[in-house]
A = this chain, B = another copy of it.
Amino acid sequence: MKVPEKILTILREEKNFLIATHINPDGDAIGSALALSIALESMGKKTSVYSRDPVPGFYRFMPGHKRFTSSLKNALKTDPVLILLDCNSPERAAIDRYEFRCPVIIDHHETERDFGDVRWVDRAAAATGLMIFYLIKSMGIKFTKDMATNLYTAISVDTGTFRYSNTNPGVLRASAELIESGAKPNLIADYLYESWDRRRFDLLMMTLNTLEIQNRIAIMHITSDMFRKTRTKPEDTENFSNFPRIINSVKISAVFREIGKGVWKASLRSKGDVNVAKIAELYDGGGHKNAAGFKIKADLESARKALLKAYKKINDK
């Protein structure tokens, strides 16, 4: 993976950085931001790490997660260079009210917007964490255990710990280096897959109990009431959409989550060549081939039908 020379130059020459990532940050967003922050500070730079939303509880094993702030106040005082990670538009990070000097974009998502002075968007990259891996290497910085743990986690989350189709030799070799630098594969896997709290598990069970399968599409939903009953939050639903994939006939697995009265956020996961990003784009959403999302204002039944129709549409093309 070739890191753009211009990014390396900016990182070397500038002093203050605002590292921002998308709303509802996932493991790739968090790990990439933390590893880059730790790396830059090891060079004597100043960094702020911003996310509108807090780091979800189950990612709080990631070293340095307390660097995250949801306030831009202090950061903006230093007139920092913006580094936008794991997304490529200011709206996705909820920072579109501000002006930034020399925005640098580092992302691997398919849906592109035109923003930033330097854009490094590599759709072929399995994770933004992998891009940061090569970036840190190219800067000649030695990986510490904390950087390695963050990047290994980032890559794990976006490859399903090497189970998705984006798993390739480069991903495994980079991960091998990260283990050599101190990442612990089994501990990270335990944190990611065996550390749910009971309430989250109860919400999963409620959600799975709503499962219906139609035309090889598994559809589940989560109402506000279900969140209330289990005292859970939207962030607790991460990965829920993956579960029905264990059924061999399922090609797409979708969760509709109620985000307002009559407004639903759909999370889509697909197997193999089914491109759910194309479905998401039909409703102004976005994502990757096998993991995407969109919002829809409709009652649940109509939202469900819209998804089935969209699948038919992309299939007919």
Contacts and interface: CB of A to CB of B under 8 A. Distances in A.
A229 to B, nearest CB: 16
Given A169-B179, A175-B172, A176-B169, A196 B162 contact: no
A213 B196 contact: no
Contacts of A185: 162-165, 167-168
Interface string A245-272: 1111100000000000000000000011
Nearest to A205: B208
Interface in A163-208: 163-165, 167-170, 172-173, 175-177, 179-180, 185-186, 189-190, 193-198, 201, 205, 208
B162 A246 contact: no
Given A179-B169, A205-B209, A209-B205, A196 B247 contact: yes
A160 interface: yes
B164 A169 contact: no
Contact of A246 (B163, B180, B193, B271): B193
How many copies the complex holds: the figure is 2
Contacts of A161: 161-163
B163 A193 contact: yes
A103 to B, nearest CB: 34
Contact of A198 (B190, B208, B249): B249
A242 to B, nearest CB: 9
A248 B236 CA distance: 14
- A contact residues, range: 35 or more
B190 A213 contact: no
A293 to B, nearest CB: 20
A245 B192 CA distance: 12
A317 to B, nearest CB: 23
Contacts of A165: 185-186
Interface in A42-85: none
Nearest to A169: B176
Interface of A: 160-165, 167-170, 172-173, 175-177, 179-180, 185-186, 189-190, 193-198, 201, 205, 208-209, 211, 213, 244-249, 271-272
Top 9 nearest A-B pairs (CB, nearest first) are A163-B189, A169-B176, A165-B186, A167-B185, A172-B176, A172-B172, A195-B248, A196-B246, A194-B245
Given A160-B189, A172-B179, 14 more contacts: A162-B162, A162-B185, A163-B185, A165-B185, A167-B185, A169-B180, A172-B175, A172-B176, A190-B271, A190-B272, A194-B271, A198-B249, A201-B246, A205-B209
